[in-house]
Amino acid sequence: MQIPLLDLKAQYAHIKNEIDEAVHRVLDSGHFILGPEGRALEEEMAAFCETKYAVGVGNGTDALTLALRALSIQAGDEVITTPYTFFATAETVAELGAIPVFVDIDPLTLNLDLKQVKAKITSRTKAVIPVHIFGQMLDVERLMELTAPYGIKIIEDAAQAVGARYRGRRAGSLGDVGTLSFFPTKNLGAYGDAGMVVTNEAEINESVRRLRFHGCEKKYYHDEIGYNSRLDEMQAAILRVKLRYLESWNEARRDKAARYDILLAEAAGRGDVVLPGRDPEAEPVYHLYVLRSRRRGEIMKALAGAGIASAIYYPVPLHLQKAFGYLGMNPGSLPVAEGASGEAFALPCYPELREEEQERVVETICRALTL
């Protein structure tokens, strides 16, 4: 029996009746863009994220672009972020002509290293984008203490952390603005592309609403250059069904992660693998369960041989990506991120994963390590 990294077919089988009903409801309505499903999802997500506003957009990448635009980030501005994330986090900064400034990560949590942020602040720094990597939040309040004296804005990239908390507060609700992705493999996944911007600030809410619809408030009157980036009615109806399960799915992911921690404790004790580092104030949602090992290659080969999926997150940190070659950063410049890229890999971790499957994953790893 194969064990995938994530089992969306099993998830669908579980909720098929409700999903099919939602899809048919939209088909019957004849209304597909900016309608009642999207509005209802926005209300439900704002309540879930504990923010005043939520705005549905085309995907998580556009959510970042629209958030940056709503904060008036423009060409030449500097935006501090992590090199250890999905490309979109910094791509959107660069696409607006702004300059991504990469700061190394914390070796325990693999999130932006807050101790190194201050040294990178200049008169051109306009924003910081912390990424709650793999579903574990970083301390946004502490980051804000660092940045507030300079008027620097904070965009939380919460694409991997929907539902996560830090000192009780939800991902996306702490910074000036938060961005979510509903890419199908995310913890709350659509059946296509979708994303969202969450905020407590009325002005940002209004700005993102305009920008997602061609810079337009009143139809055919355009106040600024915008985008076509909406969360469609079909995806909204689907996401509304899945949102009802999200807390229990996230809880199940935490259970699987805790079981892996126990099953892998011995291997970790020997120093063969490093378990995901936990910040005691964080309540993660384990978008991914990521181990580190100097013997990653052998372990992943053994897993593949046993029909068990695993995957490297992220093989190349952003400062060493070809696309960011123009920044002129060299290997060795951000050693913690580079080290993580050389050692980190994700194991299957999803709500439907069974206990005996987890045991098989760990037995396969342990066997590989004794060879």
Ligand X SMILES: *Cc1c(COP(=O)(O)O)cnc(C)c1O
First-last CA distance in the chain? 23
Residue 83: closest CA among 33, 120, 57, 55: 120
156 binds ligand X (CB under 6 A): no
Q: How far is CA 298 from the centre of its chain?
A: 28
249 binds ligand X (CB under 6 A): no
160 binds ligand X (CB under 6 A): yes
Which stretch in 56-64, 96-104, 217-225, 338-346 sits in contact with ligand X by CB under 6 A? 56-64
229 binds ligand X (CB under 6 A): no
Q: Using CB atoms, what's the residue nearest to ligand X?
A: 60
Smallest separation (angstroms) from ligand X to the CB of 59:
4
Smallest separation (angstroms) from ligand X to the CB of 172:
12
Q: How many residues bind ligand X, per CB under 6 A? A: 15
57 binds ligand X (CB under 6 A): no
82 binds ligand X (CB under 6 A): no
Which stretch in 84-92, 105-113, 317-325, 349-357 sits in contact with ligand X by CB under 6 A? 84-92
If the CB atoms of residues 85 and 147 are measured against ligand X, the closer one turns out to be: 85
x/- string (CB under 6 A) for ligand X, residues 176-195? -----x-x---------x-x
Strands 177-181 and 153-157: parallel
Which stretch in 11-19, 59-67, 295-303, 351-359 sits in contact with ligand X by CB under 6 A? 59-67
If the CB atoms of residues 46 and 162 are measured against ligand X, the closer one turns out to be: 162
If the CB atoms of residues 22 and 88 are measured against ligand X, the closer one turns out to be: 88
For 248, list phi and psi in degrees, rounded to 5.
Answer: -70, -35
131 binds ligand X (CB under 6 A): yes
Burial (Cβ within 10 Å: 0-12, 13-18, ≥19) of residue 76: exposed
159 binds ligand X (CB under 6 A): yes
Gap between the Cα atoms of 196 and 178, Å rounded: 8
Among positions 86, 134, 260, 314, the unique one binding ligand X when judged by CB under 6 A: 86
157 binds ligand X (CB under 6 A): yes
Paired with 55 in beta bridges are: 197
Smallest separation (angstroms) from ligand X to the CB of 248:
22
Residues 112, 103: contact at Cβ < 8 Å? yes
For 253, list phi and psi in degrees, rounded to 5.
Answer: -60, -40
Which stretch in 85-93, 231-239, 268-276, 347-355 sits in contact with ligand X by CB under 6 A? 85-93
Residues 182, 60: contact at Cβ < 8 Å? yes
78 binds ligand X (CB under 6 A): no
Which stretch in 109-117, 156-164, 243-251, 264-272 sits in contact with ligand X by CB under 6 A? 156-164
If the CB atoms of residues 179 and 358 are measured against ligand X, the closer one turns out to be: 179
Gap between the Cα atoms of 68 and 87, Å rounded: 16
Place of tokens 């502490």: 142
What torsion, rounded to 10 degrees, do the Cα atoms 68, 74, 76, 81 define? 0
Which stretch in 53-61, 163-171, 200-208, 258-266 sits in contact with ligand X by CB under 6 A? 53-61
Which stretch in 28-36, 83-91, 220-228, 289-297 sits in contact with ligand X by CB under 6 A? 83-91
The 10 Å Cβ neighbour count of residue 106 is 19
164 binds ligand X (CB under 6 A): no
Among positions 11, 65, 89, 293, the unique one binding ligand X when judged by CB under 6 A: 89
60 binds ligand X (CB under 6 A): yes
Q: Which residues of the shown chain bind ligand X in the complex (CB under 6 A)?
A: 59-61, 85-86, 88-89, 131, 157, 159-160, 181, 183, 193, 195
